[in-house]
């Protein structure tokens, strides 16, 4: 159901907008081919704009369009990409930020770890799981340097670390297409009570999309600007999927390309089982991680890989 | 064999390696379409969709079509048995599923899918030949998406037909049998309000108008609109909020520019829209059209938009 509008401003505007829009007429109706292409993001900008102008004025066609949208599970991965990637981006960035924070705190306070090698250093960090383990390992490895540091260190009543603030989320934004991204090399600040401050760059995750003409577009600034990435000369693609640094694009007649470095280099992938090759139009690319994924084709074939596309199985 | 008047296409298709490559990638031969026939299909689609395009542009346009789906659909339309077997294997269940999804009802969904199947097979004849609805598919969207759209159109037509054939009892219940005389005299409202609204909404982009229509008129959810436009829900949320504010501000500004005082303008914006002399009924004139998406119209409308 529609979202409830509780703001008076919205209610007021709705009255005028609704009446005006209802009064518009637009005929003749577009053919189903055009509506299907629109729903699949397959129209050129001018065709899309003309169709949207009709749709804005024609309630019948809008109804048809909404009714004809596939169930969420059926949505082309080209559209699903925006739902999948942010979560992964967050996971990766969180992991990277955590490692960077732990590492930086550890390095900038080596003296403290050495002095409190053993229970004090670990208590000061107070971080569970693998982080504690790494701190413990670090503390142990630094024990050898203990004597050197102990001669320069202040009295042992030094308080434990606190005020450690990491703000990876501050750099997290939504781009104009609603995708979550991380600004170009956002800095993670780490402050300690002793005034130690360090800034560590977290690598940016690019956003990907296909142009209406099937070109591959990449944005490194969260969707503010897009650059065309040359994959293959004259290449036109239908679906795109990215996971981490890996990007897959698929097009007609089995055209399948993979990049493992955020689109800097591309390799043509030719799935085959025996003499049978993937040569149908690629309609779906789904990867759950950088190794495991599947390719769907127009003739109903599902090709599966579990080693980043080196070997394929036909389901 | 290609008809005589299409012989030149057959020749050019054989000579042009690009056309031959399109033919090969479409697997058209598998569905009983020869290279000349396929070239004729492409030529027809190209002429209808991009009549002024150069040969190179047309080739580019054809390469972006769902060629395999196109060959299958046209093979079926020409009565190729293998094409039908492939079509049934690939789309039979999906069509029923899609019909159930559109109608939200098992039996109505089945009925709808059966009716569409009949159209796909071709129940009408032209010049002694069966006319299949599949012959109107031109490959701009996927065949699966096209089938879903055809189902949805049929459903909307069906629903409209049912609405017109509402029973007498129900009409009585709803008081429609003896409707009240329409109010001939509508309270006069400053035309400047209509003009200001018209100016502002007309200046919006078609996408913005589509979003407003979907949200305010159809009461679609943000998620539904976002899916149709392939953007995130939060993008639509921000857009609706921004549009709502800017539309009101602009109308107000236009009213002030038209000579209203701020108070008058603000009062005008709170006017009940039913008082506005917008001929809303005429906008619903689609009801008078027999079918919103007749086959004839679809054919005529192909390539437009």
Q: Which residue in the set A28, A50, A174 is minimally distant from B234, CB to CB?
A: A174
- For residues B11 and B126, membership in a common domain is answered with no
Residue A20, in any domain of the structure:
yes
Question: What percent of chain A is predicted at pLDDT more than 70?
Answer: 53
- Average pLDDT of chain A? 66
Can you give the C-alpha Rg of chain A in angstroms?
27
ipTM for the predicted complex comes to 0.76
d(Cα B82, Cα A9) in Å, to the nearest integer?
60
Residues 194-213 of A with CB under 8 A from B: 213
A163 found inside a domain:
no
User: Does residue B282 belong to any structural domain of this protein?
Assistant: no
Interface contact A280-B68, CB threshold 8 A: yes
**Residues of chain A neighbouring B251 (CB-CB closer than 8 A):** 16
Locate B219 and state its tokens: 């009461």
Q: Sign of torsion, CA A254 A259 A265 A271?
A: negative
pLDDT digits (tens, 9 = 90+) for A32-52: 888 999 988 888 888 898 899
Q: How far is residue A241's CA from residue A88's CA, in Å, rounded to a whole number?
A: 13
- Residue B240 is assigned to a structural domain of this protein: yes
- Domain extent, residue A271, equals 207-314
Tokens representing B80 are 């190729």
| pLDDT tens by residue, A128-185 | 444 334 444 443 333 333 333 333 444 444 444 333 333 333 333 434 443 333 333 3
3-state SS class at B270? coil
The partner residue sitting opposite B213, judged by closest CB among A21, A32, A64, is: A21
Q: How many domains does chain A have?
A: 2
B230 and B143 co-located in one domain: no
Residue with tokens 């004259």: A234
The sign of the CA dihedral B147, B148, B149, B154 is positive
Do the chains contact at A281 and B69, CB–CB below 8 Å? yes
Q: Which residues of B touch A277 (CB under 8 A)?
A: none
* 3-state secondary structure (DSSP) of residue A311: coil
Interchain pair A32, B301: CB under 8 A: no
| Mean pLDDT along residues A16-36 | 74
Which pLDDT value is given to residue B83?
93
Q: Is residue A37 in a domain?
A: yes
Structure tokens, A13: 């505007």
Cβ–Cβ below 8 Å for B146 and A279: no
Residue A144 at interface with chain B, using a CB cutoff of 8 Å: no
Same domain, B176 and B199: no
Q: Which of A18, A36, A68 is the last residue of a domain?
A: A68
The CA angle B117-B303-B78, to the nearest 5 degrees, is 40
Residue A146 vs residues A7, A96, A111, A118, A158: alpha-carbon distances, Å: 65, 29, 8, 12, 16
Whether A271 contacts A303, CB under 8 Å: yes
Phi-psi region of B5 (alpha: psi -120 to 50; beta: other; left: phi over 0): alpha
Predicted local distance difference test score (pLDDT) of residue A108: 64
Residues B17 and B97 in one domain: no
Write out pLDDT tens, residues A231-288: 887 778 888 888 777 889 988 888 899 988 778 888 889 898 888 888 888 888 888 7
- Kindly state whether residue B79 falls inside one of the protein's structural domains: no
Residues of B in contact with A283 (CB under 8 A): 142
Instruction: Give A133 to chain B, closest Cα distance, Å.
Output: 39
Q: Tell me the shortest Cα–Cα distance from A58 to chain B, in angstroms.
A: 9
Distance CA B251, CA B269 (A): 8
A87 CB neighbour count, 10 Å cutoff? 10
The answer to whether B270 contacts A12, with C-beta atoms less than 8 Å apart, is: yes
Position A87 confidence tier, pLDDT thresholds 50, 70, 90:
low
Please say if the pLDDT value at position A119 is more than 80: no
Say if A307 falls within a structural domain. Answer: yes
Amino acid B199: pLDDT? 85
Q: Is the dihedral of CA A82, A42, A234, A222 positive or negative?
A: negative
- Of A19, A37, A68, the residue that ends a domain is A68
- Residue A138 lies inside a defined structural domain of this protein: no
Q: Do A22 and B297 touch (CB under 8 A)?
A: no
Q: Does residue B254 sit in the same domain as residue B197? A: yes
Calculate how close chain A gets to B298, using CA atoms only, in Å.
5
Query: Looking at the complex, does the CB of residue A26 fall below 8 Å from at least one CB of chain B?
Result: no
Beta-carbon neighbour count of residue A12 at 10 Å?
Answer: 19
Q: Which residue of B has its CA nearest to A15?
A: B273
Both B133 and B166 in one domain: the answer is yes
Please report the beta strands in A73-221, taking only residues with DSSP state E, as ranges in sequence order. Answer: 172-174, 180-182, 187-191, 197-201, 207-210, 216-219
Residue of B nearest to A210 (CA): B230
CB B155 within 8 A of CB B115: no
CB contact under 8 A, B286 and A53: no
Cβ contact, residue pair A34, B305, below 8 Å: yes
Q: How far is B42 from chain A (nearest CA, A)?
A: 15
From A24, A40, A177, residue closest to B232, measured CB to CB: A177
Residue B78 phi, psi dihedral angles, 5° rounding: -85, 5
- pLDDT recorded at residue B147: 94
Check CB contact under 8 Å for B228 and A66.
Answer: yes
* Contact between B304 and A28 using a beta-carbon 8 Å cutoff: yes
Any domain includes B80: no
Lowest mean pLDDT among A26-30, A77-81, A114-118: A77-81
- CB-CB under 8 Å, A41 with B64: no
**For residue B285, is it within any domain?**
no
Instruction: Say yes or no for a CB contact (<8 Å) between B245 and A49.
Output: no
Asked if B246 and B300 sit in the same domain, the reply is no
CB contact at 8 A, B303 and B49: yes
Q: What is the pLDDT of residue A279?
A: 84
pLDDT value at residue A165: 35
Same domain? B44 vs B179: no
Q: If pLDDT is split at 50, 70 and 90, which confidence band does A9 have?
A: low
A281·B212 Cβ contact <8 A: no
Selection from B21, B25, B1, B5 nearest residue B13 by Cα? B21
Residue B178 and residue B257 in one domain: no
Domain tally, chain B: 3
Q: Is A63 among the domain residues?
A: yes
Cβ distance B235 to A176 less than 8 Å, yes or no, reads: yes
Structural domain contains residue B284: no
pLDDT < 50 regions, chain B: 1-6, 176-179, 181-186, 272-292, 294-305
Can you tell me the distance from the alpha carbon of A55 to that of A30, in angstroms, rounded to the nearest whole number? 9
| A302 lies within 8 A of chain B by CB | no
How close A267 comes to chain B (CA, Å)? Answer: 21
H/E segment holding residue B126 = strand B124-126
Interface touch A66/B218, C-beta < 8 Å: yes
Of residues B102, B198, B284, nearest to A67 (C-beta): B102
Rank A72-76, A287-291, B286-290 by mean pLDDT and report only the highest. A287-291
What pLDDT does residue B267 have?
80
d(CA B93, CA B89): 8
Does residue B223 fall inside a structural domain? yes
Which residue would you say has higher pLDDT here, A302 or B15?
A: A302
Q: Count chain A–chain B contacts defined by CB atoms under 8 A.
A: 261
Select the residue of B25, B63, B285 nearest A236 (Cβ to Cβ): B63
Same-domain check for residues B238 and B110: no
| pLDDT attached to residue B160 | 61
State yes or no: pLDDT of A61 exceeds 70.
yes
CB contact under 8 A, A64 and B138: no
- The CATH number covering residue B206 comes to 1.10.10
Residue A187 lies in a domain: no
A300 in reach of chain B (CB within 8 A)? yes
Same domain, B116 and B173: yes
Burial environment of residue B217 by CB neighbours within 10 A (0 to 12, 13 to 18, 19 or more):
middle
Structural domain that includes position B259: 191-276
Please name the member of A16, A50, A53 whose beta carbon is closest to the beta carbon of B251.
Answer: A16
Q: Are residues B198 and B253 in the same domain?
A: yes
Is residue B82 included in any domain, yes or no? no
């Amino acid at each position: 159901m529609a979202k409830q509008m509780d703001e008076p401003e919205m209610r007021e505007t709705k009255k005028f907008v609704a009446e005006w829009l209802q009064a518009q007429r637009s005929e003749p109706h577009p053919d189903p081919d055009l509506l299907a292409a629109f729903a699949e993001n397959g129209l050129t900008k001018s065709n899309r704009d003309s169709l949207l102008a009709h749709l804005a004025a024609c309630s019948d066609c809008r109804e048809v369009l909404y009714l004809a949208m596939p169930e969420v599970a059926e949505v082309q991965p080209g559209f699903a990409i925006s739902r999948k990637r942010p979560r992964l981006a967050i996971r990766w960035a969180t992991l990277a930020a955590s490692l960077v924070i732990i590492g930086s705190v550890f390095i900038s306070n080596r003296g403290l770890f050495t002095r409190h090698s053993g229970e004090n250093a670990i208590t000061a960090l107070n971080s569970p799981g693998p982080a504690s383990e790494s701190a413990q390992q670090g503390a142990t490895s630094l024990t050898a340097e203990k004597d050197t540091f102990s001669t320069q260190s202040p009295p042992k009543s030094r308080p434990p670390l606190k005020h450690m603030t990491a703000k990876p989320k501050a750099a997290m934004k939504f781009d104009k297409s609603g995708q979550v991204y991380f600004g170009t090399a956002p800095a993670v600040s780490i402050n300690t009570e002793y005034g130690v401050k360090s800034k560590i760059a977290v690598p940016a995750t690019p956003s990907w999309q296909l142009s209406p003409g099937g070109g591959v577009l990449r944005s490194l600034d969260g969707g503010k600007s897009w650059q065309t990435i040359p994959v293959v000369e004259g290449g036109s693609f239908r679906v795109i999927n990215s996971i981490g640094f890996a990007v897959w694009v698929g097009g007609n007649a089995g055209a399948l390309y993979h990049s493992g470095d955020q689109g800097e280099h591309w390799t043509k992938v030719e799935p085959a089982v025996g003499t049978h090759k993937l040569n149908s139009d690629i309609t779906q690319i789904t990867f759950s991680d950088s190794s495991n994924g599947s390719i769907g084709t127009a003739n109903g074939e599902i090709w599966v890989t579990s080693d980043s596309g080196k070997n394929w199985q036909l389901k | 064999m290609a008809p005589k008047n299409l012989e030149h296409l057959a020749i050019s298709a054989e000579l042009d390696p690009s056309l031959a490559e399109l033919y090969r990638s479409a697997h058209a031969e598998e569905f009983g379409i020869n290279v000349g026939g396929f070239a004729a299909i492409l030529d027809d689609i190209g002429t209808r969709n991009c009549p002024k395009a150069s040969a190179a542009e047309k080739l580019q346009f054809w390469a972006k079509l769902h060629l395999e789906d196109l060959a299958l659909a046209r093979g079926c339309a020409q009565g190729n048995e293998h094409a039908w077997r492939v079509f049934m294997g690939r789309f039979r269940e999906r069509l029923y599923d899609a019909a159930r999804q559109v109608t939200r009802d098992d039996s109505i969904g089945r009925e709808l899918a059966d009716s569409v199947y009949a159209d796909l097979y071709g129940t009408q004849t032209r010049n002694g030949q069966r006319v299949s609805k599949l012959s109107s598919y031109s490959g701009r969207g996927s065949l699966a998406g096209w089938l879903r759209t055809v189902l949805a159109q049929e459903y909307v037509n069906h629903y409209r037909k049912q609405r017109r054939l509402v029973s007498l009892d129900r009409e009585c219940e709803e008081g429609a049998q003896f409707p009240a005389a329409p109010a001939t005299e509508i309270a006069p409202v400053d035309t400047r309000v209509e003009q200001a609204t018209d100016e502002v909404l007309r200046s919006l982009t078609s996408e913005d108008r589509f979003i407003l229509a979907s949200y305010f008129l159809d009461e679609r959810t943000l998620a539904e609109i976002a899916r149709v436009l392939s953007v995130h829900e939060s993008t639509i949320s921000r857009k609706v909020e921004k549009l709502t504010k800017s539309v009101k501000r602009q109308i107000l500004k236009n009213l002030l520019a038209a000579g209203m005082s701020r108070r008058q303008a603000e009062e005008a914006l709170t006017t009940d829209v039913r008082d506005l002399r917008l001929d809303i009924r005429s906008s619903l004139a689609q009801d008078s059209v027999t079918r919103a998406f007749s086959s004839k119209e679809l054919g005529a409308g192909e390539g437009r938009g």
